[in-house]
């Protein structure tokens, strides 16, 4: 059932039907009524594909995230979805799984399908050509993860500052033998957080170059592995505090401690980053830096939509506040 059927049934021209549907031109009450009548009688619904072709829009935006298995990204996704829903726009989900070829695959797909825009949370930290091409053809806004060399609207937090605050919190307890589990070196957030840790370290008089740094991949398992490396040594050589660059890895190190009889926080303190839901569920609860993931998603979507609406958004980049949330994994070092 097409718009022509409706027109016929209502005894008007198709253009008139279109006009009432989109209220794009004045129509007499009489005809409008007849048209609306016909529409419900026939159960007519404008064909999305046709409409898209004509309007040259897809009414859909892509969300590219590295790893839906990390609740942080889910929170972001929720935020995005929440605003899209009010704009009759679909959300197409693309998990890159930290793999360049997947990112490239989705970049091509989204471009070919002429999506209105994409919200991109990089798991790579580097500009693939596919991504660059995407950014040329489509509106792209970055969330959480900045990509050096790509000047695009960005929504995220001041990772360096947040990391510094977190590290200060544990250093203030008196810890001096600390270690860090960092994120993938190529990622902006990882680099920023590390920088923040170092700042706090020097501020507390400890030489950052002396503190062991093992790089994880932001996944839980890598946290566990890092813990094994850091903690699987004679007790006197162990750090008394571990700064983990995200919660998933922090939970991994917590796991390691629990299964190896290492007391948290009695023997080692742990701090994470993100404040994902699990963090309040493990025990002891994970002390961490909370990122407003949901709000990040919302703002990113809002920025994108205002671009699409043709407006130049008031704020094209925004930095949200990360805050310390204290739970049970940080205490004074053992004496």
Partner DNA sequence: TTGTAAGCGTTATCAT
Partner DNA sequence: ATGATAACGCTTACAA
Which residues of this protein are in contact with its own copies, per CB under 8 A?
45-50, 52-53, 56, 58-60, 63, 68-69, 71, 74, 77-78, 81, 85, 88, 90-95, 102, 105, 108-109, 111-114, 220, 251, 255, 258, 277-278, 281-283
Nearer to its own copies, 71 or 292 (CB): 71
Given 3-state DSSP classes, what are the helix, strand and coil percentages for the chain, each rounded to the nearest 5? 45, 15, 35
32 interface partner picked from its own copies, DNA, none, CB below 5 to 8 A per type: DNA
Site string for DNA, 33-62 (x = CB under 7 A): -----------xxxx--xx-xxxx------
Q: How far apart are CA 147 and CA 309, in angstroms?
A: 25
Q: What secondary structure letter does DSSP report for 291?
A: P
Query: Is the CB of 38 or the CB of 214 nearer to DNA?
Result: 38
Distance CA 165, CA 132 (A): 34
Does 308 contact DNA by CB under 7 A? no
The interface partner of residue 98, options being DNA, its own copies, none and the CB cut-off 5 to 8 Å by kind, is none
How many residues bind to DNA according to rule CB under 7 A?
31
Applying CB under 7 A, among 14, 165, 258, 324 the residue interacting with DNA is: 14
25 binds, among DNA, its own copies, none (CB under 5 to 8 A by kind): DNA
First to last CA, the chain: 79
Site string for DNA, 55-94 (x = CB under 7 A): xx--------------------------------------
Phi, psi (deg, nearest 5) at residue 60: -155, 140
Complex with DNA: residue 13 or 93, whichever CB lies closer: 13
Check: CB of residue 217 under 8 Å from CB of residue 66.
Answer: no
**Residue 289 · residue 72 · CB < 8 Å:** no
Q: Which residue, 196 or 292, is less far from its own copies as judged by CB?
A: 292
The CA–CA distances, whole Å, from 34 to 8, 12, 24 equal: 11, 9, 17
DSSP β-bridge partners for residue 289: 273, 324
Q: Looking at 137-217, which runs of residues are DSSP E strands?
A: 139-143, 154-157, 178-182, 213-215
**Rounded to an integer, what distance in angstroms lies between the CA atom of residue 88 and that of residue 213?**
46
Pairing of strands 213-215, 269-274: unpaired
Minimum gap (Å) between residue 25 Cβ and DNA: 4
By beta-carbon proximity to DNA, the closer residue of 11 and 148 is 11
User: Which residue has 């204290």 as its token pair?
Assistant: 326
Residue with Cβ nearer DNA (3 or 228): 3
Closer residue to DNA in complex, CB, 55/261: 55
Query: Choosing among DNA, its own copies, none, which partner's interface includes residue 12 (Cβ < 5 to 8 Å by kind)?
Result: DNA
Beta carbon of residue 271, minimum distance to its own copies (angstroms, whole number): 17
Most distant CA atoms of the chain, gap in Å: 89
The Cβ-side half-sphere exposure at 205, using a 13 Å CA radius, reads 4
Tell me how far, at minimum, the Cβ of 148 lies from its own copies, in Å.
25
User: Which lies closer to DNA via its Cβ, residue 51 or residue 238?
Assistant: 51
Find the shortest distance in angstroms from Cβ 195 to DNA: 46
SS3 state of residue 19? helix
For 180-196, letters b (16+ CB in 10 Å) and e give: bbbbbeebbbbbbbbeb
Q: Which residues of this chain interact with DNA, rule CB under 7 A?
A: 2-4, 11-16, 18-19, 21-22, 24-28, 30-32, 44-47, 50-51, 53-56
């Amino acid at each position: 059932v097409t718009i022509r059927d409706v027109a016929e049934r209502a005894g008007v021209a198709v253009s008139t039907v279109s006009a009432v549907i989109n209220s794009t031109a004045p129509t007499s009450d009489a005809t409008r009524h007849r048209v609306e009548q016909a529409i419900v009688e026939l159960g007519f619904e404008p064909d999305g594909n046709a409409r898209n072709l004509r309007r040259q829009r897809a009414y859909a935006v892509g969300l590219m995230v590295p790893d839906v298995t990390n609740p942080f990204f889910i929170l972001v996704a929720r935020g995005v979805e929440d605003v899209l829903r009010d704009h009759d726009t679909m959300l197409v989900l693309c998990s890159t799984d930290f793999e360049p070829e997947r990112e490239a695959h989705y970049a091509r797909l989204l471009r070919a399908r002429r999506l209105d825009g994409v919200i991109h949370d990089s798991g790579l930290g580097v500009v693939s050509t596919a991504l660059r091409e995407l950014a040329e053809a489509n509106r792209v806004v970055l969330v959480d993860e900045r990509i050096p060399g790509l000047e695009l609207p960005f929504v995220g937090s001041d990772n360096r500052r947040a990391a510094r605050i977190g590290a200060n919190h544990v250093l203030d307890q008196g810890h001096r033998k600390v270690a860090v589990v960092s994120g993938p070196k190529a990622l902006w957030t990882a680099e920023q957080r590390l920088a923040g840790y170092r700042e706090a370290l020097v501020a507390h008089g400890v030489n950052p170059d002396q503190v062991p740094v093992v790089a994880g991949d932001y996944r839980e398992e890598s946290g566990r592995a890092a813990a094994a490396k850091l903690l699987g040594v004679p007790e006197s050589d162990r750090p008394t505090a571990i700064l983990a660059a995200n919660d998933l890895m922090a939970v991994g190190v917590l796991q390691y401690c629990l299964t190896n009889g290492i007391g948290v926080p009695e023997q080692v303190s742990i701090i994470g980053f993100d404040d994902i839901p699990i963090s309040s569920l493990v025990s002891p609860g994970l002390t961490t830096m909370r990122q407003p993931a949901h709000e990040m998603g919302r703002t990113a979507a809002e920025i994108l939509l205002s671009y699409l609406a043709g407006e130049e958004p008031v704020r094209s980049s925004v930095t949200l506040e990360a805050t310390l949330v204290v739970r049970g994994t940080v205490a004074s070092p053992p004496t």
